[in-house]
Structure 1
Amino acid sequence: MPDLDMDAELAIAARLADAARPIALKHFRTGLSVDAKPASEFDPVTEADRAIEAQMRALLAQWRPEDGVLGEEQAETPSRSGHTWVLDPIDGTRAFIAGLPTWCVLIALYGPDGPLLSIIDQPFTGERFSGVSGRGAWLDHASGREPLKTRDSVLRVEDAIVSTTDPGLFTGAEADAFAQIAQSAKVRRFGLDAYGYAALALGGVDLVIESGLKPWDVGALIPVVSGAGGVITNWRGGPAHEGGQLIAAANPGLHAQALERLAGAAL
């Protein structure tokens, strides 16, 4: 498999995010209709989700026809190149339909071993968080570009700002393990979806813990968080890019402490 020009691939990711922005903003805070996917609990999908993914897939078919595509709203396109684009057109659809600006467009490029680069884009605030594995992470916004750096001064859960999208999504041993961490944390903030991981990369949030995730939920998070100096794994401490249980921490010391507390519920 030939080496990739990471700058060229990141430029493709940025162009995908550029194409998604006007579609998302066209529908945000408009009272658009919501459908529910077949599931045991409410799993919303909107015209914006479908239109953004369709547009990104159409562009990739032109620009990277040999690459695979794995997205939330359509069937997987197999890769012929060994590389796959992993897309979540609107991560945080519940926030989107509620008019809350914590949803994001997630774009990641995977190689055989996981994500190589990614973008977490928030069209409403104009913030674009980018990361390249082994290189770093940065934020682009109206005022320019700045490097991302997680907070390395918080080493105890008791001093941490802890987040999850919805603590009600944990059940059984997972719920008990998360509750123990949340109750001992200094601050708890819920409902942030992918924006919580962006906040961690910015040096605000210290710990994000979630479960039941899909590859398109997590792929774009990994290069941004790790590129900013954070640690992101599953609850066993292994690779997280296939989804499931996820823990992101601002630094290795905090990650190790939280991981120890989650060990009894790790799958």
Structure 2
Amino acid sequence: MTDLRSLLGVAGAALDQASTLVTDMAVGAVQAKGDRDMVSEIDFAVEEHVRTFLQKETPEIGFLGEESGGAGAGGALTWALDPVDGTANLVNGIPLCGVSLGLIADNRSVLGVIDLPFLGQRYRAAEGHGAYCGDDRIWPRETTSLNEAIVAIGDYAVGERAQERNARRLDLTARLAESVLRVRMFGSAAVDLVWVASGKIDCSIALSNHPWDMAAGAAIAREAGAVLMDVDGTPHDLTSAATIAVSSALGDALLELLTGI
């Protein structure tokens, strides 16, 4: 049986070092990574450091990083890392970014640690053990009506087929604008998901599902008590087309609003 408590400690130790790199390093050179996308020297440094640390501490677990792809063991467990979730925010001095490390078992995220270094916040969860910010247990808000809800949405698409993909996102934005209290775009899936988990916002909707972006935040939000689902309402896993985290009382109303997106 996998000892998730022990692995949570390993993940926390990896992010202790990663967070220090993010706050202490200069951003350095920023490279284009396709259309209107970018990667910084900090992204590369954090990924290299965390990958090396995890391969030493947990050689039996595979590794998937946003910048370097997959490496290591090919077993049932895989670490998934976004070294800087919100790179565009980081390079422009916006403090909404984080290091996001999740553990995937059979396409389901079962553990997550997210550090928001410029906000001084560390979120963590392991399946069956609760979700925390620092030493405090966290839960979603109990908002019962969409017109009282604050909803975060993912970034608009860039790159191949951006116009086509953004038609869905613009449709989503319009529907939300007519129905909810406020729509927000923070520019980091990690921020969106942990803020649902801790009750700062009521819902996060991302019409994407890259494992390095979502694995850690999905584990934290689910363990806190949020509903994690695909856009059609089926339970979320790493094969889903979208990543939606919402407080349980709003789930049905949100699904009705999303019909046909």
Give the TM-score taking structure 2 as reference length.
0.90
Cα RMSD, aligned residues only: 1.8
Matched with 2:153 is 164
Deviation at 1:31, TM superposition (A): 5.5
Distance 2:173 2:9 in 1: 38
Q: Higher mean Cα deviation, 93-102 or 192-201?
A: 192-201
Deviation at 1:243, TM superposition (A): 5.7
Distance 2:57 2:175 in 1: 47
Deviation at 1:167, TM superposition (A): 5.1
Query: What one-letter code is carried by the residue in structure 2 that aligns with 1:36?
Result: A
Query: What one-letter code is carried by the residue in structure 2 that aligns with 1:81?
Result: G
Matched with 2:19 is 21
Matched with 2:127 is 133
Structure 1 residues 214 and 80: alpha-carbon distance in aligned structure 2, compared to 1, 3 A threshold: closer
CA displacement, residues 121-151 of structure 1 (integer Å, 9 cap, x when unaligned) = 11222210001123310011xxxx1100110
Task: Tell me which of 91, 94, 111 is aligned to 1:97.
Answer: 91
CA displacement, residues 78-137 of structure 1 (integer Å, 9 cap, x when unaligned) = 534321000000000011111111101000111114111111111222210001123310
Distance 1:82 1:150 in 2: 30
SS at match of 2:124: strand
Matched with 2:162 is none
Matched with 2:260 is 264
Alignment of 1:5-154 (within 5 A): 5-27=3-25, 30=26, 32-37=28-33, 39=34, 41-140=35-134, 145-152=135-142, 154=143
The answer to whether residue 178 in structure 2 is matched with residue 183 in structure 1 is: yes
SS at match of 1:76: strand
Distance 2:183 2:168 in 1: 20
Q: Which runs of 5+ in 1 are unaligned?
A: none
Matched with 2:242 is 245
Deviation at 1:229, TM superposition (A): 1.2
Question: Does the CA contact (< 8 Å) of 1:215 and 1:243 recur in 2?
Answer: no
Query: What one-letter code is carried by the residue in structure 1 that aligns with 2:243?
Result: L
Task: Tell me which of 207, 222, 229 is aligned to 2:225.
Answer: 229
Matched with 1:218 is 214
The aligned length equals: 253
Deviation at 1:192, TM superposition (A): 4.2
Report % sequence identity: 30
Query: What one-letter code is carried by the residue in structure 2 that aligns with 1:35?
Result: Q
Question: Does the CA contact (< 8 Å) of 2:112 and 2:125 recur in 1?
Answer: yes
